[in-house]
Amino acid sequence: MRSLLVISHDVIGQRMAGPGIRMWEMARALASVMPVTLIAPRLIDLEPPPGVSCGHYTWGEAATLAPYLATATTVLANGCVAAAHPELLTYRGRLIIDLYDPVAFENLELFRQQPLAERQQIADRDVALLRDVLRRGNHFLCATERQRDLYIGGLLAVGRISPSFVDTDPLLRNLIDVVPFGVSDTPPQASGQPRLRGVLDDLDADHEIILWSGGLWDWMDPQTLVQALPQVITAVPNARLVFLAGRHPGLAQEMATPAQTRQLAAELGLLGNGIHFYEEWIPYERRADILLEATVMVSLHREHLETRYAAVRSRVLDHLWVGKPTVLSTGDAAAELIETHNAGEAVPIGDVDAVAAALIRLLTDPQRRAVQSANAAALGQRLRWSQVVRPIIRML
Domain boundaries, the chain: 4-183+386-395, 208-382
Number of alpha carbons in the 13 Å side-chain half-sphere of residue 278: 27
Binned at pLDDT 50, 70 and 90, residue 2 comes out as confident
- Judge whether residue 1 has pLDDT over 80: no
Classify domain 4-183+386-395 by CATH architecture: 3-Layer(aba) Sandwich (3.40)
Question: Residue 215 has what pLDDT?
Answer: 86
Residue 252 pLDDT exceeds 70: no
Q: Is the model more confident about 12 or about 218?
A: 12
List, in sequence order, every residue forming a beta bridge with 95; answer none if it has no partner: 75
Torsion of CA 369, 375, 378, 384, to 10 degrees: -90
Instruction: Give the C-alpha separation, 22 to 38, whole Å.
Output: 12
Q: What is the pLDDT of residue 166?
A: 94
- Give the mean pLDDT of 10-39: 95
Whether the predicted pLDDT of 129 surpasses 70: yes
Instruction: Name the fold adopted by 208-382.
Output: Rossmann fold (3.40.50)
Per-residue pLDDT at 370 exceeds 70: yes
Q: Are 176 and 151 in contact (CB under 8 A)?
A: yes
Going 143 to 39 to 130 to 159, the CA torsion angle's sign is negative
Q: How far apart, in whole angstroms, are the C-alpha atoms of residue 138 and residue 204?
A: 53
Can you tell me the distance from the alpha carbon of 343 to that of 365, in angstroms, rounded to the nearest whole number?
14
| Mean pLDDT within 79-98 | 96
Question: Do the domains spanning 4-183+386-395 and 208-382 agree at the CATH topology level?
Answer: yes
Residue 249 has pLDDT above 80, yes or no: no
What span, in angstroms and rounded, lies between the C-alpha atoms of 313 and 180?
9
Residue 250 has pLDDT above 80, yes or no: no
pLDDT digits (tens, 9 = 90+) for 177-219: 999 999 999 999 988 888 888 888 778 888 999 999 988 888 8
For the beta sheet containing 176-178, the strands, ordered from the edge strand earlier in sequence to the opposite edge, are 52-56, 36-40, 4-7, 74-78, 94-98, 139-142, 176-178
CA 393 to chain CA mean position, Å: 22
What average pLDDT score do residues 62-79 get? 96
Task: Please classify residue 362 by burial: count the beta carbons closer than 10 Å to its beta carbon, then call 0-12 exposed, 13-18 middle and 19+ buried.
Answer: buried
